[in-house]
Chains A and B, each alone.
Chain A
């Protein structure tokens, strides 16, 4: 008896939960079809938009612990509430020179799938809604080698905002370091 009862309650709760998520998704789709929120940041004196849905938090720059023998786009590791997170400088991945770390820099913790990293940025401007229709493709030949990391650009008041495809960025193989695996395949 009791078990049956418990089963019913569980089922009801499950249905309620399913309803809730359905509604939530419908709501998101309604709004998201037109405009998406971006976190506007500066890196190497240029403005970039990071899809806000993948941004978790903005941090003041903690002490970064250098990890020897890493490629230049990985600047070190820090302790994020007990979890070790690596810091990524996206400039070299975009084909630009690495940023030289200043004390007043910020970290934007971003998460795509199971991968989490902290992007090193000069300034965090804030959130901005970007109308999908206003997004233009990059000019022919621009962003060579890094076009897969760029969603498009937005031109406002002669200022260019480059929108970053965090999914593409995080899917770059050089973002994950697996030296032991590499050594084996080399040998």
Chain B
């Protein structure tokens, strides 16, 4: 640690107008600087874009928050790699943005110039850090400009950094060993492919032979040569199949290995944490013992980049807000040094990161007070929230429990970085804290951002993809499992009520939700909340490659991207975060209502209408269907018996005089069949004599309606009585 220069607590050590940059050349040029530069480039880009859009579109809270985050992260990361001047500029930049947010600083195009000059200075300092050369940057001028909010024209020129932008990094480092493996496998694939080509040539020759034999066969042959040819052909096809499978296997393997090329161990980012945390603790006059377990756990490079600021902020917060002063700890009977641990381990296709500290924990009461004071939520809302839910408020933008500003994690742009980065990488987070004994933060991350395992579901004829790690389980329920609880529809699962919604309703794809007897429900979990979601059916798990939604669909509510399925069609990937947000304020008792309506409609029964007259058939059918019966028609007795073979009916309405078989005969036959023995039968006939009626009853009919006084009310009434 001897090479690390002492720093002022606020991260600034600026003296002299043209200070030669020295840290990087003094300490061994660290590999972390490279990593930092890569990260900084992104922040720089978003700073510039944001500043320019401030000028174009005026001030917006969201835009300022973004800018603040970038400046804050730049400051933190620069401090970690000892780029003190850069951190200083970022710090002042952050101050200025903060003043802009509070209204202390007025917004003007001059100010935009100042902000842009600051980004130029940062870029120049980055270039300097990379080359460790002697490009000098007038940091003081920039700092002054940032402090005053105006550019001194005289100094403008001196400021212009002589620097032309760094090349954007998109590469990853791979071990020679891994590359060798990859190349070897590739070679084998090429061999397999050559083998297939040769086999194909053989097949072609064989086919020609087969063709010429066919000619002979027509003349005389007994077919034996053809038989042997056929045998050869079959053998060849089998060989071919084997080669093909081999090739498929190899290709899969190459694919896996290529994917692994993108992975880097967690140590790539955690190595540097230790030193910086110790420095930070020293500056805050605290003692900390930081341990890392699972440094060898590998993650996608992009994922590491996204996770790094998260870890950094959480760890900084743990030291700044969590760990108590040594004397306090001793008094409380704790170890003098605060214990902070970072643990990573694989869990299926996820990595579980756990950050624990044994500090004072998050105090729900204090958080409530602060949240109300900062206008994050109303007093009534705060009181209604459970302690478990309250602690998540620390992720809200503009929230910070510390009264004073420190260089470390104050100013309310701390943990909300965690939140937005997590949304970006589709990670899941949970926070547990106990007052007095510490805080635990669990991060569950997919191994890769570009590829994840998705659960494919169908909803109203389209396929949608859920990231599998949000799906806790898939249930099959009956509408009777849906309960009402204080105006919300819920289902009960292991003694807990889970709010139920339907995907089609949330997406507004179908106004009339179909509720059948068997329902498929996904139980989603997100930040320790649960939600049950009705879908039409599940189609299984599949690895999906994430794509954007194209240039026309910049962002959609409820969708985070798309993927292309095996059939070549796109499918939308659902944003579980958005679904949870929407679920908060919508969805009343629609499902139960829909079910009741459906009950009235569909469950009235299936009726078989038998009549040789199309007029009667159609009339009866229309009457019954208009009253929510399902109707199947038959044109004769034989037809009716056939229809009875294929489906079950709740009731039959039959004419008497029909060609081939009378309605009475049909009724008798129906009574002889096992599965229709108890089915009610209504005879509708123009035969009005008592004898006819008696015959009908004898045959086994329950009711006899005479066509002459046929009224739709009578038919419906009879059907209703007999079915219920």
Which residues of B526-547 are within 8 A (CB) of A?
547
Q: Min CB distance, B503 to chain A, in Å?
A: 10
Contact of A65 among B547, B555, B569 (CB under 8 A): B569
B570: Cβ under 8 A from any A Cβ: yes
Question: Is B571 in contact with A68, judged by CB distance below 8 angstroms?
Answer: no
Contact of B552 among A69, A177, A179 (CB under 8 A): A177
Residues of A close to B508: CB separation below 8 A? 68-69
A1: Cβ under 8 A from any B Cβ: no
Q: Residues 29-65 of chain A: 1 if any B CB is under 8 Å from the residue's CB, otherwise 0?
A: 0000000000000000000000000000000001101
Question: Is B553 in contact with A177, judged by CB distance below 8 angstroms?
Answer: yes
Q: Min CB distance, A97 to chain B, in Å?
A: 21
Residues of A close to B562: CB separation below 8 A? 77, 84
B578 closest partner in A (C-beta): A180
Residues of A close to B568: CB separation below 8 A? 79
Residues of B close to A185: CB separation below 8 A? 60
A178 to B62 Cα, complex, angstroms:
15
B564: Cβ under 8 A from any A Cβ: yes
Contact of B555 among A67, A85, A117, A180 (CB under 8 A): A180
Contact of A77 among B60, B461, B550 (CB under 8 A): B550
Question: Is B569 in contact with A84, judged by CB distance below 8 angstroms?
Answer: no
Question: Is A177 in contact with B570, judged by CB distance below 8 angstroms?
Answer: no
On whether A65 and B554 interact (CB within 8 A), knowing A79-B564, A184-B62, the answer reads no
A84 to B569 Cα, complex, angstroms:
10
Q: Residues 76-97 of chain A: 1 if any B CB is under 8 Å from the residue's CB, otherwise 0?
A: 0111001111101000000000
Residues of B close to A82: CB separation below 8 A? 564
Question: Is B552 in contact with A66, judged by CB distance below 8 angstroms?
Answer: no
A181: Cβ under 8 A from any B Cβ: yes
Residues of A close to B509: CB separation below 8 A? 66, 68
Question: Is B554 in contact with A183, judged by CB distance below 8 angstroms?
Answer: no
A65 to B557 Cα, complex, angstroms:
17
Q: Residues 99-122 of chain A: 1 if any B CB is under 8 Å from the residue's CB, otherwise 0?
A: 000000000000000111100000
B462: Cβ under 8 A from any A Cβ: yes
B549: Cβ under 8 A from any A Cβ: yes
Q: Min CB distance, B21 to chain A, in Å?
A: 30
Q: Residues 484-513 of chain B: 1 if any A CB is under 8 Å from the residue's CB, otherwise 0?
A: 000000000000000000000001110000
Question: Is A86 in contact with B570, judged by CB distance below 8 angstroms?
Answer: no
Which residues of B92-139 are within 8 A (CB) of A?
none
Question: Is B552 in contact with A176, judged by CB distance below 8 angstroms?
Answer: yes
Which residues of A145-187 are within 8 A (CB) of B?
175-181, 183-185
B459 closest partner in A (C-beta): A68
Residues of A close to B550: CB separation below 8 A? 77, 83-86, 116
Q: Min CB distance, A50 to chain B, in Å?
A: 17
A78 to B564 Cα, complex, angstroms:
9
Residues of A close to B555: CB separation below 8 A? 177-181
Question: Is B549 in contact with A68, judged by CB distance below 8 angstroms?
Answer: no
A66 to B554 Cα, complex, angstroms:
16
Q: Min CB distance, B557 to chain A, in Å?
A: 5
On whether A117 and B552 interact (CB within 8 A), knowing A82-B564, A180-B557, A184-B62, the answer reads yes
Which residues of B448-485 are within 8 A (CB) of A?
461-462
Residues of A close to B507: CB separation below 8 A? 68-69
A88 to B551 Cα, complex, angstroms:
13
Residues of A close to B553: CB separation below 8 A? 67, 74, 77, 84, 86, 176-177
Question: Is A67 in contact with B572, judged by CB distance below 8 angstroms?
Answer: yes
Q: Residues 567-580 of chain B: 1 if any A CB is under 8 Å from the residue's CB, otherwise 0?
A: 01111100000000
A77 to B463 Cα, complex, angstroms:
13
A77 to B549 Cα, complex, angstroms:
8
Q: Min CB distance, A119 to chain B, in Å?
A: 12
On whether A77 and B570 interact (CB within 8 A), knowing A84-B547, A84-B550, the answer reads yes
Residues of B close to A116: CB separation below 8 A? 550-552
Residues of B close to A78: CB separation below 8 A? 569-570
Residues of B close to A79: CB separation below 8 A? 564, 568-570
Residues of B close to A179: CB separation below 8 A? 555-557
Q: Min CB distance, A110 to chain B, in Å?
A: 12
Contact of A177 among B461, B554, B571 (CB under 8 A): B554
A115 to B553 Cα, complex, angstroms:
11
Q: Min CB distance, B203 to chain A, in Å?
A: 31
A185 to B558 Cα, complex, angstroms:
17
Residues of B close to A181: CB separation below 8 A? 554-555
Question: Is B569 in contact with A176, judged by CB distance below 8 angstroms?
Answer: no
Q: Min CB distance, B61 to chain A, in Å?
A: 9
Q: Min CB distance, B592 to chain A, in Å?
A: 23
Q: Min CB distance, A176 to chain B, in Å?
A: 6
Q: Min CB distance, A141 to chain B, in Å?
A: 31
Residues of A close to B570: CB separation below 8 A? 65, 77-79, 84
Which residues of B115-168 are within 8 A (CB) of A?
none
B347: Cβ under 8 A from any A Cβ: no
Question: Is A65 in contact with B571, judged by CB distance below 8 angstroms?
Answer: yes
A115 to B558 Cα, complex, angstroms:
23
A87 closest partner in B (C-beta): B552
Q: Min CB distance, A147 to chain B, in Å?
A: 23
Closest 8 CB pairs of A and B: A180-B555, A68-B507, A84-B550, A86-B552, A178-B554, A179-B557, A68-B509, A177-B553
User: Could you name 9 residue pairs across A and B whose Cβ atoms are closer than 8 Å?
Assistant: A67-B549, A77-B553, A85-B550, A85-B552, A179-B557, A180-B555, A180-B556, A181-B555, A183-B557
**Given A66-B509, A185-B60, list of 11 further CB < 8 A pairs?**
A62-B569, A65-B569, A65-B571, A67-B553, A67-B556, A69-B557, A82-B564, A84-B564, A175-B552, A178-B555, A184-B62
